[in-house]
């Protein structure tokens, strides 16, 4: 068999097998899931998530997702927990234990310690009849028929199922908390996602120079203004209000059409009614306008007065595009 075909067939088989397993998870949901969500939502403490091996890696990801969507969470490695890290768990914390088999030695040692401390415990396991499944207050069934690994050994489908169950928890909690896009921006101020939610046009335009000419400005004055301000555009302004716009493209088109340019003024070259945006608008709205109209700049206004320019390059630099 062709090597390329063989690789692609294996990849497709893996994706299809895992996809089928994920689809089956919805049929395994019980009241335990809803009760677990309500337990976490009503808790005065944090969510402590623990596991070992690949399950520990999944636990770390679920912790990150919960923290970023308004539910305080902490990762605790199951092996480290029984060697001192158990002190991470405080009185009101809810513990989530993740284990495919639910019978690993570390889990069997850890679970009674959690129970003795009277913390509520949620299990994410593929074996609800396991030691973990029997001891947990609520069991989230992440059973899968087989791993994608051809030897049915390497955690693949099972860890995907655990991850999906964690995402389902996080989204349910997000909705219960009424977690909004503004909340998301608060927790992601440094990333491109956050910037889409909090960055305003004024944050960008204020960093640029403010090119402008009058209606009667000469062609030379227009060219000098566009060149010096380095935005490829100038606003045409009268009494602080925008009356037109001149771009590099307008100049090229004018020069290709006209032989007599000595007496041309800004009024003769400009485009009327240019696209504009309020300086308190979101930067992502500027992006939508530029994409929708196929333009690279927008003139910015503050209370109807000319306030500057926002350029496509500003959006690219900030990761909005």
Tens of pLDDT, residue by residue over 26-38, are: 999 999 999 999 9
Average pLDDT over residues 135-150: 95
Q: How far apart are the first and last CA of the chain?
A: 43
pTM of the complete model beyond 0.75 = no
Q: Is 220 exposed, middle or buried (0-12, 13-18, 19+ CB in 10 A)?
A: exposed
Which segment of 166-170, 179-183, 290-294 scores lowest on mean pLDDT? 179-183
Tokens 């007496």 sit at which residue?
Answer: 263
Residues making up the chain, counted from first to last: 321
Q: Is the pLDDT reported for residue 271 higher than 70? A: yes
pLDDT of residue 305: 95
- Rg (Cα) of the chain, in Å, rounded? 30
pLDDT tens-digit profile of 215-234?
999 999 999 999 999 999 99
Do 132 and 106 contact (CB within 8 A), yes or no? no
Residue partners of 286: CB distance under 8 A and separation at least 6: 201, 204, 277, 298, 310, 315
Which segment of 30-34, 73-77, 259-263 scores lowest on mean pLDDT? 259-263
pLDDT of residue 23: 94
∠ CA 290-296-299 to the nearest 5 degrees? 80
pLDDT of residue 195: 66
pLDDT tens-digit profile of 242-256?
999 999 888 888 877
DSSP one-letter code for 320:
-
Q: Is the pLDDT reported for residue 191 higher than 70? A: no
pLDDT of residue 250: 86
């Amino acid at each position: 068999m062709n090597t390329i075909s063989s690789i692609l067939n294996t990849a497709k088989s893996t994706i299809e097998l895992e996809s089928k397993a994920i689809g089956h998870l919805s049929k395994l949901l019980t009241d335990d899931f809803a009760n677990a969500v309500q337990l976490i939502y009503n808790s005065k403490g944090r969510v402590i998530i623990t596991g070992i091996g690949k399950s520990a890696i999944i636990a770390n990801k679920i912790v990150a997702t919960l923290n970023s969507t308004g539910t305080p969470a902490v990762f605790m490695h199951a092996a480290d927990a029984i060697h001192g890290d158990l002190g991470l768990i405080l009185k009101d914390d809810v513990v989530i234990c993740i284990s495919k088999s639910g019978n690993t030695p570390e889990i069997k040692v850890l679970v009674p310690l959690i129970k003795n401390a009277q913390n509520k415990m949620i299990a994410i396991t593929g074996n609800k009849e396991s030691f973990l499944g029997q001891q947990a207050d609520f069991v989230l069934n992440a059973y899968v028929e087989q791993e994608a690994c051809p030897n049915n050994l390497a955690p693949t489908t099972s860890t995907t199922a655990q991850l999906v169950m964690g995402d389902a928890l996080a989204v349910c909690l997000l909705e219960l908390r009424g977690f909004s896009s503004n909340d998301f921006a608060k927790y992601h101020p440094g990333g491109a996602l956050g910037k889409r939610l909090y960055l305003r046009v004024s944050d960008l335009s204020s960093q640029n120079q403010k090119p402008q000419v009058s209606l009667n400005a000469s062609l030379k004055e227009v060219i000098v203004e566009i060149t010096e301000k380095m935005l490829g555009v100038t606003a045409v302004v009268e009494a602080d209000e925008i009356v037109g716009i001149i771009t590099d493209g307008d100049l090229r088109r004018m020069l290709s059409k006209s032989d007599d340019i000595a007496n041309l003024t800004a009024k003769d070259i400009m485009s009327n009614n240019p696209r504009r945006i309020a300086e308190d608008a979101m930067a992502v709205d500027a992006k939508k306008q530029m994409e929708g109209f196929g333009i690279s700049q927008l003139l910015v206004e503050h209370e109807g007065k000319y306030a500057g320019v926002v350029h496509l390059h500003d959006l690219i630099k900030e990761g909005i595009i």
